[in-house]
Amino acid sequence: MTAKRDRLTGAGAQVVTEVSINFGSSLAGLAIPLVGSPVVVAVRQLVMAATVLPFYRPRLATLTWRRLWPALLLGVVLAVMNLTFYQAVDLLGLGIAATIEFFGPFALALASSRRLLDFVYATAAAGGVFLLTWSNGALNVLGIIYALTAAASWAAYILLTRKVAVSFPGLEGISVASVVSLALLVPFALLTVDWNSLNWGVIGLLLAIGVLSSAFPYTLDTFILRRITPRLYAIITSFGPVIAALFGALVLGETFLLQQQIAIVVVCVAAGAAIASQRDTPKSELEIIAGAIP
């Protein structure tokens, strides 16, 4: 019963993070034209570091390279993932960028599959993305490259966060990653920021983005990925593009052609069906016995 309750709690928390991240991303869409993507992402990571470091400073005496390298790599992945995603949002819009980015966890979930049905699902999802990006007769290649880079980074983020979560107590691992990410992003932010565009309203907006898009969901992810598998994480995340499109319309005033709306739904349904239909195969007799225990 404890395991089932943990899974339900983790799944519910993941739904909350999806809403938080996509609402924060819609606010970022308002801030990017004012200060640029590097500044938005740097403030996100600054808020993240300020949230976790006072409470979860890793003990230097216990750090070894074997424990430390996943957290360091996670920091690099966080910087790349967030920066390329916001660049994609700026060029493609939130709904389209979020839909393409979802291919990261989708591909991760299907990486070991050999089923013909999964090939059908993947083809349907790819067709949906093509329809989404080609609907208006134009193709923003740079925006798509940014979104695909964010997708690959997201897949790496899932794997590394799970590894960091079991290697470090509490949020010590994510605190290391946040410092690394911040160190990489600050130089770009300082080189690109327009100081005249900063006022208390913009600063407040940036801080809200940091809380909604980084501090809250990323700290919660370490809690979530201790309780649910990457596959279940990806199933819930498959609804992310719809949530992103909704916030894109409500906050950013984005509009979608009918075929684009259909494309977003096709991607979500194909991804959700493909991941949900996967079966976990026990690897040993012990796992079979353990799986039968409620």
The answer on pLDDT for 211 being more than 60 is yes
For the cut 70, the answer to whether the pLDDT of residue 63 exceeds it is no
208 pLDDT more than 90: yes
Alpha-carbon span 250 to 245, nearest angstrom: 9
Which pLDDT belongs to residue 284?
Answer: 38
Mean pLDDT of 95-123: 80
- The span from the CA of 14 to the CA of 282, in Å, is 25
The H or E element that residue 136 is part of is none
Asked if the model's pLDDT at residue 94 lies above 70, the reply is yes
Q: Inform me whether the pLDDT recorded for 264 exceeds 80.
A: yes
Is pLDDT above 50 for 53?
yes
What per-residue confidence (pLDDT) applies to 37?
92
How much of the chain exceeds pLDDT 90, in percent?
30
Question: Residue 248 above 50 pLDDT?
Answer: yes
**Backbone torsions φ then ψ of 140, nearest 5 degrees:** -90, 90
Give 273's pLDDT tier (boundaries 50, 70, 90): confident
pLDDT confidence of residue 290? 31
Taking the C-alpha atoms of 18, 22, 25 and 27 in order, what is their torsion angle to the nearest 10 degrees? -130
Give the range among 84-93, 101-110, 175-184, 226-235 with minimum mean pLDDT: 226-235
Q: What letter represents residue 231's amino acid?
A: R
Structure tokens at 203: 């600063």
| Tens digit of each residue's pLDDT (9 = 90 or more) over 21-44 | 999 999 999 999 999 999 999 998
pLDDT digits (tens, 9 = 90+) for 189-198: 998 888 888 8
More confident residue, 164 or 72: 72
Tell which residue, 129, 151, 145, 132, has the closest CA to residue 254: 132
Distance CA 132, CA 267 (A): 10
- Pick the more confident residue, 103 or 83: 83
> What pLDDT, on the 0 to 100 scale, is given for residue 194?
85
Percent of residues, the chain, with pLDDT higher than 70: 80
**Residue 160 above 90 pLDDT?**
no
Burial annotation 121-158 (CB, 10 A radius, 16+ → b, else e): bbebbeebbebbbebeeeebeebbebbbbbbbbbbbbb
CA neighbor of 133 nearest in space, from 122, 116, 123, 145: 145
Answer yes or no: pTM beyond 0.85.
no
Lowest mean pLDDT among 37-51, 112-126, 204-218: 112-126
